Structure 1
Amino acid sequence: MRPAPDPAAEIGGGFLARSAAVVYWLLVIEVLVVLTTAPALAAVVLLAGGSGNAPLIGLCFVPVAPALSAAIFAWRVFLADRDLSPAAHFWRGYRLNWLDVLRWWPPALVVLTVLGFTLANLDVAGVPAGYGLVLLLVGLAVLLWSAQALVLSSALSLRTRDLVRLAGYYLGARPATTLGTASLLVAAAGTVVLTSDWVLLLLASPLTHVLLRTAEPVLRDATGRFTA
């Protein structure tokens, strides 16, 4: 019986071959993230400018999390047993995870949309400035929880209620991971402020890779303690 082919043999052992494979994965995953999110995000540009469009703008971000989940799934394969088939792994991750992700992402998106709308209209509401700071902290907490939930639902098969609890649990149980994720969110926000939100979209591939590496302690612990 012939031995199973080694996926790493497709790449080769040389430094240039390995580097070229990393670049290839980065580009393919980036293109696929753009293809699966750009139509919805293009609608954001058309809707921007009116505060009354906030619910529709929030709706446009629904496809983002499944695409990022597929990217994380593909990067996890790359880290474990890399080959030259990133597109196949991306679409497999999309097919396996999109429904699990959409069980928690729209509610989180509703909360973020309400917070964003409220922050944008603080002057009209006439509330104290400190109230805006509280809303920012709540928004950051929701984003951190969403990042944890995204990685967990991309790598593990969990019931939605268990996923919700674990994502919140690891925010406190793994403070180093939470701090690393917060730093990544700050970097993403800085990218948008200093350049454009489209630049952030074009960095989705490396950012999902960094997010996965940051969350590795959480995945190891969750896999060992909460999965068979």
Structure 2
Amino acid sequence: MADGAAPSPIVGAGPLSRASAVVYWTLALEALFLLAASPGLVLLFLLVPDPSNIPLVALALVPVGPAFAATVFAWRASARERDLAPWRHFRRGYRLGLGDVLRIWIPGLAVLAVLGINLTHLEATGLPPAGGVVLAVLAAGIALWLVHAVVLAALMSFRTRDVARLALYYLGAKPLVTLQYASFAILAGGVVVLTSDWVLAALASVLAALVLRAARPVLAHAEATFTAS
């Protein structure tokens, strides 16, 4: 905490206090996520579901990455500092991780957009149906790698190329974590299909908490192996 700053309220030790704090943090972080991601979300919600809009979807998702990473950062801080100032941790996570996350997030979105365009225009590419399967598997792998990379970039102090390499390593080295990320992606897709993307956006803080919980083995291994003095 900076000198002269007012101390943040501390969460009580009782179960009711802890439960109330979790609800408060969830709602506050959701509002902060929506605010930070709003430029892209507004564009995303205005787009018609059409393959021709894939590049615009990728563009709309650019602000979502840093906002989600800051939400993950804030959730991790909540476990270490029992206070009621989620905005302080979100702001710090956003400021510290913005550049690192974008250097991973933007290229990842660009590659996924190219793969998405090829998948939706498979006949024009001249690829056989089996080629479409390969592209779909590749896109899924890159998406899961991107989740690993964003979490590492948000919570660890590594160079971008090291984040990329570690994300690729953990993709296979921690299969249970990767499978959990895949299940979250499937659930998110189901929410969008059965309801709308608005509902998924409204669940972002909950999803960030789940991703952080799933990432614990990766973070523990990375801290013990690559940051130990």
Shift, 1:54, TM fit: 2.8
Change (3 A) 1:79 1:111: same
Matches within 5 A, 1:72-111: 72-111=72-111
**Contact 2:44 2:60 survives alignment (8 Å):** yes
Q: Provide Cα deviations, 1:99-134, integer angstroms capped at 9, x if missing partner.
A: 011111111000111111222223555643322222
- Distance of 1:193 and 1:50 partners within structure 2: 14
Change (3 A) 1:195 1:126: farther
Find the residue that maps to 2:58 and give its secondary structure. Answer: helix
**Contact 1:145 1:168 survives alignment (8 Å):** yes
Equivalent residue, structure 2, for 1:195: 195
- Distance of 1:61 and 1:91 partners within structure 2: 19
**Contact 1:149 1:163 survives alignment (8 Å):** yes
Structure 1 counterpart of 2:121, which letter?
N
Shift, 1:49, TM fit: 5.0
**Contact 2:148 2:167 survives alignment (8 Å):** yes
Matches within 5 A, 1:147-166: 147-166=147-166
Shift, 1:27, TM fit: 0.2
Structure 2 counterpart of 1:116, which letter?
G
Equivalent residue, structure 1, for 2:69: 69
**Percent identity between the aligned chains?**
49
- Distance of 2:130 and 2:38 partners within structure 1: 36
- Shifted more, 44-53 versus 109-118: the winner is 44-53
- Distance of 2:204 and 2:46 partners within structure 1: 22
Shift, 1:198, TM fit: 1.3
Equivalent residue, structure 2, for 1:21: 21
Q: Provide Cα deviations, 1:10-36, integer angstroms capped at 9, x if missing partner.
A: 211221111100000000000111111
- Distance of 2:23 and 2:49 partners within structure 1: 37
Structure 2 counterpart of 1:187, which letter?
L
Q: Provide Cα deviations, 1:65-102, integer angstroms capped at 9, x if missing partner.
A: 10011001000011222210001100110000000111
- Distance of 1:19 and 1:31 partners within structure 2: 19
Q: TM-score, normalised by structure 1?
A: 0.91
Equivalent residue, structure 1, for 2:31: 31
**Contact 1:8 1:81 survives alignment (8 Å):** no
Shift, 1:201, TM fit: 0.7
**Contact 1:54 1:117 survives alignment (8 Å):** yes
- Distance of 2:52 and 2:194 partners within structure 1: 26
Change (3 A) 1:93 1:177: same
Q: Provide Cα deviations, 1:138-195, integer angstroms capped at 9, x if missing partner.
A: 1110111011011111111101111110000011111111111111111111111111
Equivalenced residue count is 222
Q: Provide Cα deviations, 1:40-73, integer angstroms capped at 9, x if missing partner.
A: 1211233435544432331111111100110010
- Distance of 1:117 and 1:104 partners within structure 2: 20
Find the residue that maps to 1:10 and give its secondary structure. Answer: coil
Equivalent residue, structure 2, for 1:139: 139
- Distance of 2:213 and 2:90 partners within structure 1: 17
**Contact 1:8 1:82 survives alignment (8 Å):** no
Structure 1 counterpart of 2:91, which letter?
W
Q: TM-score, normalised by structure 2?
A: 0.91
Find the residue that maps to 1:103 and give its secondary structure. Answer: helix
Equivalent residue, structure 2, for 1:206: 206
- Shifted more, 96-105 versus 44-53: the winner is 44-53
